[in-house]
Amino acid sequence: MTGAIFQLLKNKILVLDGAMGTLIQSHKLKEADYRGDRFASHNKVLSGCNDVLNLTQPDIIDGIHTRYLEAGADIIETNTFNANAVSLADYKMEGHVYEINFQAAQIARKLADSYTQSNPLKPRFVAGSIGPTSRSLSISPDINKPEYRNITFDALSDAYFEQIKALVDGGVDIILIETVFDTLNAKAALYAACKVFEACGKELPVIISATITDNAGRNLSGQTLEAFLCTFEHYPLLSIGLNCAFGAKEMYPYVKELSELASFNLCIYPNAGLPDEAGKYNETPQEMAALIENYCSKNIVNIIGGCCGTTPEHIKLFAEISEKYKPRQPVALSNDLKLCGLECINIHSGINFVNIGERTNVTGSKKFSELIEKGDFKTAAEIARNQVMSGAQVIDICMDAPLLDARQAMVIFLNHIASEPDIARVPYMIDSSDWNVITDALKNIQGKPIVNSLSLKDGEAAFIEKAKLIKQFGAAVVVMCFDESGQADTFERKIQIAGRAYSLLTTKAGILPQNIIIDPNVLAICTGTNESRYYAHDFIKAVRWIRENLPHVSISGGVSNLSFAFRGKDSIRAAMHAVFLYHAIKAGMNMGIVNPAQLVLYDEIPPALREIIEDVLFNRKENADELLINYINTSEYFLKNHAVLEEWIGWAPADRLRHALIHGIDKYIVEDTLNLASALKNPVELIEKNMMEAMNTVGVLFGEGKMFLPQVVKSAKVMKTAVNALMPLINKSQGTMAMKDKIIMATVKGDVHDIGKNIVSIVLSCNNVTVIDLGVMVPAEKVVEEALKNNAMAVALSGLITPSLHEMVHVAAEMEKRKLKIPLLIGGAATSKKFTALKLYPVYSGPVIYIKD
């Protein structure tokens, strides 16, 4: 039966039922009805406790299911949304969880079976409804105590276990984890479901359905839809979904987005419109059916149904619609490593390097360690923030220190930073040699983190067992090249262990290769031992072998380990790291634990020093170590130490501006920009000449692999700061000339890049155009609405990444649909003349113009 529904969904859109609560309300039940005979003397008010009705008014629940089955629902939901111990405690009914769920499942089971029997061609299914409870694992209920939670992962998953066990015993076909406002709560539910499946010896299909609570398309705990999806991609869900919160109309852009991303079926069951002033959902069956038909006709859904305010009349129309259209085809799961915190990063082959901030590590930073020991988590969080601001795309968090309760420190720190969106945005790497610290961490992180690390040092059995748990939590994993006989320090040992670990993880633990990160051990060089002369080169050779022989893995390492012999000499260490990374990245290393604030450019290192470092790394000269130490002791580069990195401060303003842009340093950028602009009649010249020249250099360096993406992003951020500082001057230089025409500008949905667009916007402003800049991640519907509302003379779209092209086609089609005739201007790195001509021109009948620069 359970495989049947997967099969059925390949060819058919299935219909889920409508609201339970709305129909219960229509019975206008009184307190005495809720209580029935059974709970007549219960010591707490029961009105509103819909779940208890399974025991006290089973006929009413039976009747509601019957109406939905009659209407044509393929799947009916048990009346158990709040039937867990946490929620039922509000009514002092927590002692009846098992009974309520079992009974609810039985009521639905019997009806579904009898309908299936009477028409075997239309099998009916029962989904056990699991609500989110009113508590959140990711959000503190007390703003003064960001690390505080009113429930733990274990307590919540225990409560879910009890509920799910009863539902399974009662005979449900599907586990439906719905109205997810906090992804960590849903993780606890899925974790419990897996435990139940293990206990019962059978696995049921699972659906997880999120509810979006803001217009940015995020859930309450701040995750984007893409991150929400990424969190569950390790599990073979029957379907991912969206329910509640919005009506079918408002849900459109989010359904579209999920439909383009999800490798699962997609289930939607919106409310009957938005609530009116009385909180009632009034969209009629016909109105809502038209919107649902729009989804079906576009083939972007697999399961349709209704949430708040929907009735059997709605479902009847949905059932008719579902017969007319083919279901959506799920997207193939990619081979890219995807990670997420509140936001998702997709480490595809176009990204040459991901940097992981090393400073939130008690053994790697004295400052961090002191703060954690003092219990000053707030200031410790600033170190995390600094890492992210300096370009870390992941942060490595380590609390392993002899005098610290690492488990406790890890959980407090994680909960603390969970309420800092500019930190929690990025995925975490949990760095510990204590397995308990890792499992505690996994229970306190929403999104998809990296476990750092597993190794074969305790043998295969322990390795596989831990790997399976990591898989269950959906994390990626770093494998250190250690085995039963210790650390791999030669090329041969590194690749032997890497290959062995890869094959065990993929064949015995079911981990996908893209979720494996191999760390071939960066070891300290120049330590005086003969072995250390080979460490760097063997690492780089191992990287190349792994890249060529272990498909789809990532390769990482603790880069700062390399230069331990030069502790305290930060500028020389930074130079060594830069040269090392330049070669390791070329060989295929795509991630590294680094201090992102201290990355320097390969090209900026004095050639003589670069050559000496390369002699050391590749063991090219007998006395290479000596030469390096000599250089350090005598050269200006070292003598100046930090000063060398700040030498540019004495340069002429235009050179300073250029340096700051290329290096992504925002410290003096406003001051320098304003200074230079004040000498110009037309401040725009500063952008057109100096700034664009610097940004072109960044582009060239990036193209040559001499800058990593995070560095480019840092440069772009500084560019933006500079442009913002110029804005008031530019506005002033235009005087009070009246603005004549309006242009709508937007970076399309799914894309956040807007530096280029902002520059274009300034240039246009200087030419007497009123620019209405809608910002980034703008849905097509919004672009068109604003264009109509403002009677715009043109729409200009920008996009930097490839998926944006697809979105632009969508905008063009939307403009055509709404009968716009104004020019559509297209720009941004991902776009081209060819794309504009072949993909956009045919879709839109107004002028379509590609803007190169």
Nearest distance from C-beta of residue 385 to ligand THG, angstroms: 16
Helices 624-634 and 607-617 pack at an angle, to 10 degrees, of 150
Site for ligand THG in 396-425 (CB under 6 A): 396
Nearest distance from C-beta of residue 750 to ligand THG, angstroms: 32
Strand 486-487 vs strand 591-594: parallel, antiparallel, or unpaired?
unpaired
Nearest distance from C-beta of residue 436 to ligand THG, angstroms: 18
**Candidate list 751, 754, 761, 773, residue with the active-site label:** 751
Stretch that binds ligand THG, among 365-373, 611-619, 633-641, 766-774 (CB under 6 A): 365-373
Using the rule CB under 6 A, is 522 a contact of ligand THG? yes
Distance, CA of 359 to CA of 416 (rounded, Å): 17
Q: Which is nearer to ligand THG, 430 or 783 (CB)?
A: 430
**Count of residues interacting with ligand THG (CB under 6 A):** 20
Eight-state DSSP code of residue 749: T
Tokens coding 349: 């082959």
Nearest distance from C-beta of residue 632 to ligand THG, angstroms: 16
Nearest distance from C-beta of residue 392 to ligand THG, angstroms: 12
Q: Which is nearer to ligand THG, 479 or 825 (CB)?
A: 479
Distances (CA, A) of 431 to 246, 654, 660: 40, 43, 33
Stretch that binds ligand THG, among 194-202, 532-540, 560-568, 785-793 (CB under 6 A): 560-568
Eight-state DSSP code of residue 690: I
Among 78, 183, 560, 747, binds ligand THG (CB under 6 A): 560
Site string for ligand THG, 74-113 (x = CB under 6 A): ----------------------------------------
* 594-603 per-residue burial string, b: 16 or more CB within 10 A, e: under 16: bbbebbbebe
Using the rule CB under 6 A, is 519 a contact of ligand THG? yes
Using the rule CB under 6 A, is 558 a contact of ligand THG? yes
Are 481 and 519 in contact, with CB atoms under 8 Å apart? Answer: yes
Q: Which is nearer to ligand THG, 486 or 607 (CB)?
A: 486
Are 498 and 459 in contact, with CB atoms under 8 Å apart? Answer: no
Q: Which H or E run includes 431?
A: strand 428-431
Are 182 and 136 in contact, with CB atoms under 8 Å apart? Answer: yes
Distance, CA of 527 to CA of 341 (rounded, Å): 38
Active site residue 751: yes
Q: Which is nearer to ligand THG, 429 or 825 (CB)?
A: 429
Using the rule CB under 6 A, is 387 a contact of ligand THG? no
Stretch that binds ligand THG, among 27-35, 138-146, 363-371, 625-633 (CB under 6 A): 363-371
Please report the DSSP string for 806-848 in residue order: HHHHHHHHHHHHTT--S-EEEESTT--HHHIIIIITTT-SS-E
Using the rule CB under 6 A, is 770 a contact of ligand THG? no
Using the rule CB under 6 A, is 557 a contact of ligand THG? yes
Active site residue 753: yes
Using the rule CB under 6 A, is 590 a contact of ligand THG? no
Nearest distance from C-beta of residue 365 to ligand THG, angstroms: 5
428 C-beta neighbours (distance < 10 Å), count: 30
Active site residue 804: yes
**Which among 365, 312, 424, 328 is positioned nearest to 70, based on CA atoms?**
312
Distances (CA, A) of 81 to 49, 50, 562: 10, 9, 54
123 C-beta neighbours (distance < 10 Å), count: 18
Nearest distance from C-beta of residue 560 to ligand THG, angstroms: 3
Using the rule CB under 6 A, is 828 a contact of ligand THG? no
Among 28, 30, 366, 834, binds ligand THG (CB under 6 A): 366
Please report the DSSP string for 30-70 in residue order: -HHHHHTTTTTT-SS--TT-GGGHHHH-HHHHHHHHHHHHH
**Candidate list 455, 715, 798, 804, residue with the active-site label:** 804
Distance, CA of 70 to CA of 311 (rounded, Å): 12
Q: Which is nearer to ligand THG, 561 or 770 (CB)?
A: 561
Using the rule CB under 6 A, is 164 a contact of ligand THG? no
* 653-687 per-residue burial string, b: 16 or more CB within 10 A, e: under 16: ebebbbbbbbbbbbebbeebbbebbeeeeebbebb
Q: Which is nearer to ligand THG, 13 or 450 (CB)?
A: 450
Nearest distance from C-beta of residue 480 to ligand THG, angstroms: 6
Strand 554-555 vs strand 848-850: parallel, antiparallel, or unpaired?
unpaired
Distance, CA of 758 to CA of 246 (rounded, Å): 32
Within 13 Å and on the Cβ side, how many CA atoms surround 732? 11
Among 322, 361, 444, 446, binds ligand THG (CB under 6 A): 361
Using the rule CB under 6 A, is 357 a contact of ligand THG? no
Stretch that binds ligand THG, among 371-379, 557-565, 739-747, 806-814 (CB under 6 A): 557-565
Using the rule CB under 6 A, is 830 a contact of ligand THG? no
**Candidate list 234, 583, 753, 810, residue with the active-site label:** 753
Using the rule CB under 6 A, is 567 a contact of ligand THG? yes
Among 262, 478, 612, 686, binds ligand THG (CB under 6 A): 478
Q: Which is nearer to ligand THG, 567 or 586 (CB)?
A: 567
Q: Which is nearer to ligand THG, 505 or 730 (CB)?
A: 505
Please report the DSSP string for 637-678 in residue order: HHHTTHHHHHGGGGS-HHHHHHHHHHHT--TTHHHHHHHHHH
Nearest distance from C-beta of residue 640 to ligand THG, angstroms: 20
Nearest distance from C-beta of residue 217 to ligand THG, angstroms: 34
Nearest distance from C-beta of residue 127 to ligand THG, angstroms: 42
Neighbouring residues of 447: CB distance < 8 A, sequence distance ≥ 6: 183, 223, 227, 230, 231, 339, 340, 341, 342, 427
Stretch that binds ligand THG, among 361-369, 438-446, 806-814, 822-830 (CB under 6 A): 361-369
Distances (CA, A) of 310 to 59, 133, 266, 300, 317: 21, 22, 19, 21, 11
Kindly tell me the burial class for residue 257, based on how many C-beta atoms sit within 10 Å of its own C-beta (0-12, 13-18, 19 or more): buried
Using the rule CB under 6 A, is 431 a contact of ligand THG? yes
Site for ligand THG in 715-744 (CB under 6 A): none
Distance, CA of 618 to CA of 51 (rounded, Å): 70
Using the rule CB under 6 A, is 358 a contact of ligand THG? yes
Are 771 and 764 in contact, with CB atoms under 8 Å apart? Answer: yes
Site string for ligand THG, 441-460 (x = CB under 6 A): -----------xx-------
Using the rule CB under 6 A, is 540 a contact of ligand THG? no
Are 369 and 337 in contact, with CB atoms under 8 Å apart? Answer: no
| Cα torsion angle, 69, 71, 74, 77, sign | negative
Nearest distance from C-beta of residue 336 to ligand THG, angstroms: 20
Distance linking the first and last C-alpha atoms of the chain: 58
Distance, CA of 349 to CA of 344 (rounded, Å): 16
Nearest distance from C-beta of residue 369 to ligand THG, angstroms: 8
Using the rule CB under 6 A, is 538 a contact of ligand THG? no
* 813-837 per-residue burial string, b: 16 or more CB within 10 A, e: under 16: ebbbeeebebbbbbbbebbeeebbe
Using the rule CB under 6 A, is 364 a contact of ligand THG? yes
Among 140, 561, 619, 734, binds ligand THG (CB under 6 A): 561
Q: Which H or E run includes 346?
A: strand 344-347
Using the rule CB under 6 A, is 54 a contact of ligand THG? no
Stretch that binds ligand THG, among 165-173, 406-414, 556-564, 646-654 (CB under 6 A): 556-564
Using the rule CB under 6 A, is 432 a contact of ligand THG? no
The residues annotated with a catalytic role in the active site are: 751, 753, 804
Residues in contact with ligand THG by CB under 6 A are 358, 361, 364-367, 396, 431, 452-453, 478, 480, 519, 522, 557-558, 560-561, 567, 593
